[in-house]
């Protein structure tokens, strides 16, 4: 039986050419795998037919939008995941769901190898291959761009020579990856980090300089998951899509960062994540109301480590799974509503309420009705500062 290779297929020039390129270089049959994670554009059926037209012997397509939102975006939200305090892991969390379907397709079609379109300079090669070797340790991995010398000029020449059903003349100056959680843009003139982004860089967001009237939104959470917007029940996917539209119209979620890649290179990245950033802002504020102080302090450390693991391609790692157990426990009471104003590139919290919150009005107020016994403070301060007081006395006696 002829060897089969499963290829992560986007429908674009590079992966379309990779079908025939891999077949010629290896003698194997290629099975194209396309996974919809909310990136928009062409239908899965159109992509499937193109893959077959480019020489794939089979085409596996999966609508994974709800799966991606429920099982990948929501854990990211509950972890308030922002790599380098800025990047909401747009590409990093899409890779493991794609890997899951690549391995499933390899089993279904008896493939021995999985191929992806990453270069040897980026993070995604690690995310794909670590995920594949974790879920399918018997599977081999290849990358046509990295391992089989498939460059863009060769791809265009190959497509024209073979008459492939793919556009080869238009060249986008940027490398773009997008899904429902956000959009990542790099390369081209953005590689000069002094250059500011131009209007054509953006697609998910309108300019915050020309925002429409402020948009007030109320997000309802249940155990850290958005379940309603302005009182209307939503699924996680619907919540992200709705806030992509409304926050995007206000220019919320534009990120320009020089990022520390896993491979050791600093890379300039532009991200758009209006829904993700609005949801994270609201979720963080509801945690401020509902999560106990020491638990909240420690959760910041856990969140950061969780974020680093996912960025580094360790979605399926034991440590990430263990950290998630802690995060899940912290979300038990993250239930309530957050009101935000979306305007001028900002998502600003203006109200919050929860039936299971830890905010006690009568303890917090300075007005009539205050139930806090202020006389307790003097003794507390004496005990709280005792160790520093003793150490300071020692220092003074020693002439320090």
Q: Provide the annotated active-site residues.
A: 14, 95, 124, 175
Question: Which single residue is written with the structure tokens 């929501």?
Answer: 74
315 neighbors 90 (Cβ within 8 angstroms): no
Annotated binding-site residue? 16? yes
Annotated binding-site residue? 386? no
Annotated binding-site residue? 359? no
Annotated binding-site residue? 377? no
Annotated binding-site residue? 271? yes
Annotated binding-site residue? 14? yes
Paired tokens of 254: 């534009």
Q: DSSP E strands: which ranges in the chain?
A: 4-8, 29-36, 58-63, 113-115, 140-142, 175-179, 182-186, 215-222, 225-229, 232-233, 254-260, 266-272, 336-343, 346-353
One-letter-per-residue 3-state SS of 109-124 = CCCCEEECCCCCCCCH
Paired tokens of 46: 């159109």
Closest C-alpha to 47, from 66, 23, 19: 19
Annotated binding-site residue? 117? yes
Annotated binding-site residue? 127? yes
Annotated binding-site residue? 259? yes
Three-state secondary-structure class, residue 6: strand
Annotated binding-site residue? 206? no
Separation CA 224–CA 79 (nearest Å): 9
Three-state secondary-structure class, residue 394: helix
Annotated binding-site residue? 45? no
Separation CA 180–CA 228 (nearest Å): 18
Annotated binding-site residue? 15? yes
Annotated binding-site residue? 366? no
Q: Output DSSP code: residue 350.
A: E
Annotated binding-site residue? 203? no
Closest C-alpha to 117, from 6, 4, 272, 265: 6
Annotated binding-site residue? 66? no
Q: What count of Cα atoms within 13 Å lies in the side-chain half-sphere of residue 255?
A: 27
Separation CA 351–CA 292 (nearest Å): 19
Binding-site annotation, residues: 8-16, 87, 117, 119, 123-124, 127, 175, 259, 271
Binding-site annotation, residues for L-citrulline: 87, 123, 127, 175, 259, 271
Binding-site annotation, residues for L-aspartate: 119, 123-124
């Amino acid at each position: 039986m002829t060897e089969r290779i499963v290829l992560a297929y986007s429908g674009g020039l590079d992966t379309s050419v990779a079908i025939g390129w891999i077949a010629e270089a290896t003698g194997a049959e290629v099975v194209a795998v396309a996974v919809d994670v909310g990136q928009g554009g062409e239908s899965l059926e159109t992509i499937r037919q193109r893959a077959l037209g480019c020489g794939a012997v089979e085409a596996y397509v999966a609508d994974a939008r709800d799966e991606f939102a429920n099982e990948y975006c929501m854990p990211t939200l509950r972890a308030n995941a922002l790599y380098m305090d800025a990047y909401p892991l747009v590409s990093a969390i899409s890779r493991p769901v794609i890997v899951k379907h690549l391995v499933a397709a390899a089993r279904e079609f008896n493939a021995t190898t999985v191929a992806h379109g990453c270069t040897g300079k980026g993070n995604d090669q690690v995310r794909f291959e670590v995920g594949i070797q974790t879920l399918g340790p018997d599977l081999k991995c290849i990358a046509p761009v990295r391992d089989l010398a498939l460059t863009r000029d060769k791809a265009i020449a190959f497509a024209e020579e073979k008459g492939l059903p793919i556009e080869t003349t238009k060249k986008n100056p940027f490398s773009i990856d997008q899904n429902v959680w956000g959009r990542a843009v790099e390369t081209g003139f953005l590689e000069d980090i002094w250059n500011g982004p131009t209007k054509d860089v953006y697609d998910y967001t309108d300019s915050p300089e020309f925002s429409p009237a402020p948009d007030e939104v109320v997000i309802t959470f249940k155990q850290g998951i958005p379940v309603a917007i302005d009182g209307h029940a939503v699924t996680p996917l619907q919540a992200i899509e709705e806030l992509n539209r409304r926050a995007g119209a206000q220019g919320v979620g534009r990120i320009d960062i020089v990022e520390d890649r896993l491979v050791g290179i600093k890379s300039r990245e532009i991200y758009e994540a209006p829904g993700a950033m609005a949801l994270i802002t609201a979720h963080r504020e509801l945690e401020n109301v509902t999560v106990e102080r020491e638990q909240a302090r420690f959760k910041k450390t856990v969140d950061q480590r969780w974020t680093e693991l996912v960025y580094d391609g360790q979605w399926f790692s034991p440590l990430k799974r263990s950290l998630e157990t802690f995060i899940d426990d912290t979300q038990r009471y993250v239930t309530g509503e957050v009101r935000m104003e979306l305007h001028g590139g900002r998502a600003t919290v203006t109200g919050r309420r929860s039936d299971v919150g830890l905010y006690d009005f009568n303890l917090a107020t300075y007005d009539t009705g205050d139930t806090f016994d202020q006389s307790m403070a003097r003794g507390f301060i004496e005990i709280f500062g005792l160790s520093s007081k003793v150490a300071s006395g020692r220092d003074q006696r020693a002439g320090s």
